[in-house]
Amino acid sequence: MSDQTQATALLSGLKVVVLADRLVDFGGEMLARLGADVTLADTGEVTEIRQAAWHGGMRSSPASSIPLAELLAGADVLLDDRRRNPRPEVDALAASHPQLVHVVATAWPEGQPPRPATDLTLMAQSGLMHVIGTAEDPPLRLPGEQAYALTGIQVATAALMGLRARARTGRGQRIPVSALQSVTLANYREAVMYEWTGRIGRRVGNKLVRGASGVRQVWPCADGYVTWSMIDNPGMMRAVVRVMDEEGCAGELAGIVWEDILVADTDQQIIDRWQDIVGAFFARHTRAELGDWSLKLGWGLSPITKLAEVPDSPQMQARGIFVDTPQSKLTRGPLFAVHPEGQSA
Amino acid sequence: MTGALHGLKIADFSWVGAGPRATKDLADNGATVVKIESARRLDLGRRSPPFAKGQSKNHDASLFFAQTNTSKKSVTINLSDPAGVEVAKRLVAWADVVVENFGPGYMDRIGLGYETLQQIRPGIILASVSVAGRTGPMAGFRGYGNIAAAQSGHADMTGWPGTEPHMPPLAYGDVVAPMFLTVAILSALEARDRTGQGCHVDVSQIESMVHVAGDLFAGMPEEKPANDDPVMAPHGVFPCAGEDAWIAIACEDDSQWRALCAVLGAGDLATRHPDAAARRAAAPVLSQALSDLTAARDGATLEQALAAAGVPASLVLDGKGVAESTALQAAGHFAPTDHPVIGPARMPAPPYDLPDTPVAITASPCLGQHNAEVFAEIGLSADDIARLTKEGALA
């Protein structure tokens, strides 16, 4: 059995019903892609992108065709999205199925006054937007619908937790999930940093600030960009400078004993001068050349792949992540690889 | 009442962020998670700021570590010592799940590869998380979460149109991948219940970031969308009164647009741009007009007025705003703990509530805090523990 087949069989036999309004979409898709039999019973309005991106593997059954009561007979899990619709009738119906794991997703935590919310406004509350972008421009979100996706993962997690609990107790339960908390959980730094140091993170663009100075994270090269930073890792710095020296372009970097200095405590003007030397070297080489050196020599550098290039990257191809459809290549491959017993990765 | 995962045993070899965030999920939900650490190869999370009372040299004082490792137990085992590996094997025999995020091949090199684990404990689930996954041409790649942003299209799509790629200001791959790892482990447990078979779940940070960008791949925009949306307009952030103060506003339909204009006192805008297509076509002009209308307003007052009018709107919170959010506090998002070194501290809780099998969050462990308890449970005598500690195997 292939890794992909294994991944799509983990939840075989599980029956899931989904009432979707963005917060549970990806959660339903995750369960479907892991082998559950997932019926999408309500979606609200659907765009082509939403359907293609977040409804893979789910069977569509509009609410008008089969009553929810009928769909819930024999169901293990109900994903109940209440971003806009409070669905007051569903609780009693779900409660009449004591085995059912009933996951209720709301934008704001349940019990608090409901508020209209979208991916953008949820992301705004996470503390992440405040630190994405540059100081001179407005805050930016992470690309795509990350607040919805993060909530969807937590919805799937909550459903699986409910199933583990059911295996012990013999009963399902009603599990509220908050999108506000789901997206805030992704921000592991800003609140705790403020709470313990009083510091508030700011937008610093592509600069990586460590100690008294900042270093670049993004560099132009011959055919695009790479990401790499001059950090306090002597072995990595020696490995980069060695190749630069072989090409006769290491300049003053060749004479630096990296173990004897701390880049984080070095004067910004000196760092900028060193970075100019590195930048000139990177500019002469392609992403592939620099990426190959990094893989072989441990530079910690990575090419920056354009979105359109990702589906055809050798790694994505090898792992079967994208599936060709008539319209586009979609992320319908396994969520992760599964290597069965008796086999190694 | 006990947690959903009461009785589940995890041997957790993972460190820093990508593995420990998943095992935190399991531990907070009642699993017994034993974190295998070593003073000789300290979890870099223990060296990561901020530190309580500025104690940057104290390996028990990191708040980064504390919030990533709640509810776990810690033992110290020197995995470069064969005697230490033998103790680790006893933990594998005890465990249902082994979790690791070492560099490629490390578990094999120390004699804890998947084949060995299966021999020790048939039905074991091995859960790995790495930058690119354990197979494919990049299987040997070493790196951190931000590399996943570069390889997944996130860096390419972050930023303003026409600008260079933008790296996220956090290791987002170290956030998303462990969420996938939690799902992977729980799914593997479901499968094992059904089939009796274990497996090796192999999570890639790059792939996890690709999966959460499903809408970008489905739409494949040629340019960075920044804060724009393919359907909604307006959809962006607008200035408010005060330094670096912003409000995010998104109109999903025309009624919300009209309500927005009513709150802002801009009825003429509502009639001039009645539908989303017209608003998207006039986006730059409209954005400036709305910015002019919001710039002098108090953000919190405007947020309340818009929410009351049914318009999705939220202040763009900074770290202080998140730490002091009344909505998060009321939801129990920050759970109180008391740590012997750090003292009273609030730790992030899961965003869900299982009333019949509740989450219970306790402080992260000090290094090796549970050596005596755990080593006794896996069959080591007090003399064994003392000898192996003296010889450096349990250090």
- Is the pLDDT at A4 greater than 70? The verdict is no
Cα(A167)–Cα(B194) distance, rounded to whole angstroms?
11
- The structure tokens 């810690």 sit at B74
Query: What's the gap in Å between the CA of B99 and the closest CA on chain A?
Result: 14
Burial class (CB within 10 angstroms; exposed 0-12, middle 13-18, buried 19+) of A234: middle
* Residues of A whose CB is below 8 A from B165: 218, 225, 227, 304
Identify whether residues A156 and A36 lie together within a single domain: yes
All residues of chain A having their beta carbon less than 8 Å from the beta carbon of residue B144 are 300
**Which residues fall within 8 angstroms of residue A155, CB to CB, at 6 or more apart?**
A23, A24, A26, A27, A28, A79, A103, A105, A177
Q: Which CATH superfamily is domain B235-321 in?
A: formyl-coa transferase, domain 3 (3.30.1540.10)
The three state secondary structure string of chain B is CCCCCCCCEEEECCCCCCCHHHHHHHHHCCCEEEEEECHHHCCHHHHCCCEHHHCCCCCCCEHHHHHHCCCCEEEECCCCCHHHHHHHHHHHHHCCEEEECCCCCHHHHCCCCHHHHHHHCCCCEEEEEECCCCCCCCCCCCCCHHHHHHHCCHHHHCCCCCCCCCCCCCCCHHHHHHHHHHHHHHHHHHHHHHHCCCEEEEEEHHHHHHHCCHHHHHHCCCCCCCCCCCCCCCEEEEECCCCCCEEEEECCCHHHHHHHHHHHCCHHHHHHCCCHHHHHHCHHHHHHHHHHHHCCCCHHHHHHHHHHCCCCEEECCCHHHHHCCHHHHHCCCEEEEEECCCEEEEEECCCECCCCCCCCCCCCCCCCCCHHHHHHHCCCCHHHHHHHHHCCCCC
Cβ–Cβ under 8 Å, residues A91 and A30: no
Q: Could you tell me how many CB contacts below 8 A there are between chain A and chain B?
A: 461
- Under an 8 A CB cutoff, do B319 and A191 touch? yes
- In eight-state DSSP terms, residue A60 is E
Angstroms from B118 CA to nearest CA on chain A:
8
DSSP tag of A308: G
State whether A58 and A180 are in the same domain: yes
Which structural domain range is residue A46 located in? 3-185
Q: Using the 3D structure, point to which of A185, A219, A234 is the last residue of a domain.
A: A185
Give residue for tokens 């079967």.
Answer: A320
Here the tokens at position A43 are 């979606």
Query: B303 to chain A, minimum CA–CA distance in Å?
Result: 11
pLDDT digits (tens, 9 = 90+) for A257-282: 998 988 878 899 999 999 999 999 99
- In whole angstroms, give the CA distance from residue B175 to residue B74: 22
Query: pLDDT band for position A341 (50/70/90)?
Result: confident
Q: Which residues of chain B neighbour A303 with C-beta distances below 8 Å?
A: 150-151
We find that the CATH architecture of domain B9-214+331-390 is: 3-Layer(aba) Sandwich (3.40)
Nearest to B86 by CA among B336, B391, B373, B309: B391
Nearest CB partner across the interface for B250, out of A120, A131, A161: A120
pLDDT digits (tens, 9 = 90+) for A61-113: 766 688 999 999 999 999 999 999 999 999 999 999 999 999 999 999 999 99
The burial class, CB within 10 Å (0-12 / 13-18 / 19+), for A293 is: middle
Q: Check if the beta carbon of residue B339 is closer than 8 Å to that of residue B364.
A: yes
Q: Is B243 exposed, middle or buried (0-12, 13-18, 19+ CB in 10 A)?
A: exposed
Average pLDDT over residues A215-232: 94
Domain identity same for A124 and A213? no
Cα separation, B340 vs B350, in Å, equals 23
Residue at a domain's end among A130, A154, A185: A185
- Measured CA to CA, the distance from residue B363 to residue B353 in angstroms comes to 19
Q: At what angle do helices A268-283 and A234-246 cross, to 10 degrees?
A: 50
Residue B204 sits at the chain A interface (C-beta within 8 Å): yes
- The secondary element (H helix, E strand) that includes residue A303 is strand A302-303
- For the stretch A39-57, pLDDT in tens is 999 998 899 999 999 999 9
Residue written as token pair 């930016």: A140
Contact A218 B206 (CB under 8 A): no
Our CA-based measurement puts residue B247 at a distance from the nearest CA of chain A, in whole angstroms, of: 8
Per-domain boundaries in chain B = 9-214+331-390, 235-321
The residues in B 177-196 lying below 8 A from A, measured between CB atoms, are 179-184, 186-191, 193-194
Contact call for residues B164 and A218 (beta carbons, < 8 A): yes
In whole numbers, what is the pLDDT of chain B averaged over residues? Answer: 96
The rounded distance, in Å, linking the Cα atoms of B155 and A218 is 10
pLDDT on residue B145: 63
Binned at pLDDT 50, 70 and 90, residue A295 comes out as confident
Question: Known catalytic residues of B?
Answer: 174
Residue A1 above 60 pLDDT?
A: no
Which residues in chain A have their CB less than 8 angstroms from residue B288's CB? Answer: none
Alpha-carbon dihedral B278, B279, B284, B289, rounded to 10 degrees: 120
As given in the structure block, the two tokens for residue A142 are 């992470």
State how far Cα A63 lies from the chain centre: 31
Are A60 and A128 part of one and the same domain? Answer: yes
Q: How many domains does chain A have?
A: 2
Q: Give the Å distances, CA to CA, from B235 to A302, B88, B238, B247, B299.
A: 32, 53, 10, 11, 17
Determine the residue among A37, A83, A121, A122 to mutate to test chain B binding: the one whose Cβ has the most chain B Cβ atoms within 10 Å: A121
Question: Domain of A239: which CATH number?
Answer: 3.30.1540
Q: Does B160 lie at the interface with A, CB-CB under 8 angstroms?
A: yes
Interface contact flag, B155 A304, Cβ < 8 Å: yes
Q: A141: which DSSP letter?
A: P
Domain identity same for A169 and A214: no
Residue A7 has pLDDT above 90, yes or no: no
Contact yes or no for A180/A55 (Cβ under 8 A): no
User: Is A137 contained in some domain?
Assistant: yes
Which of B186, B208, B215 has the CB atom closest to A160's CB atom? B186
The verdict on A70 and A175 lying in the same domain is yes
Tell me, what's the pLDDT at A5?
60
| B130 in contact with A, Cβ within 8 Å | no
Neighbours of A265 (CB within 10 A): 11
Q: Is the separation of the CB atoms in A148 and A25 below 8 Å? A: yes
Residue A251, in any domain of the structure: yes
Please tell me the distance in Å from A4's CA to the nearest CA on chain B: 11
- The Cα–Cα gap between A315 and B137 comes to 6
Contact B221, B147 (CB under 8 A): no
- Nearest CA to B341 out of B365, B361, B370 is that of B365
Cβ separation A175–B352 shorter than 8 A: yes
Q: What is the DSSP code (8-state) at residue A169?
A: H
Residue with tokens 């620099």: A290
Q: Compute the radius of gyration of chain B from its Cα atoms.
A: 25
Residue A3 has pLDDT above 70, yes or no: no
A222 shares a domain with A285: yes
B26: burial class by Cβ within 10 Å (0-12, 13-18, 19+)?
Answer: buried
Alpha-carbon distance B323 to A125, whole Å? 11
**Low pLDDT (below 70) residues in chain B:** 145
Claim to verify: residue A165 and residue A261 sit in the same structural domain: no
CB atoms within 10 A of CB B322: 23
What pLDDT digit, counting tens, does each position of A101-137 carry?
Answer: 999 999 999 999 999 999 999 999 999 999 999 999 9
Strands A37-42 and A59-60: parallel
Closest of A102, A180, A336 to residue B334, by C-alpha = A180
Residues of B in contact with A118 (CB under 8 A): 232, 235, 250, 252, 312
Residues 6+ apart with CB under 8 A from A214: A204, A207, A208, A268, A271
Q: Which residues does chain B have within 8 Å of residue A133's beta carbon, measured at their own beta carbons?
A: 159-160, 166
**Does A175 reside within a domain?**
yes
| pLDDT at res. A209 | 82
The pLDDT value recorded for residue A2 is 55
pLDDT at A345: 74
Pick the residue of A51, A102, A181, A193 with the most B CBs within 10 A to test the interface with B by mutation. Answer: A181
Assess if residue A59 is contained within a domain.
yes
CA angle, A101 as apex, B22 and A321 as ends, to 5°? 50
Residues A83 and A11 in one domain: yes
Predicted ipTM?
Answer: 0.98
pTM equals 0.97
- Using CA atoms, how far residue B15 sits from A260, A278, B22, B52, B349, in Å, is 28, 31, 11, 20, 20
CATH number at residue A158: 3.40.50.10540
Beta-bridge mates of residue B237: B248
Does position A200 have pLDDT exceeding 90, yes or no?
yes
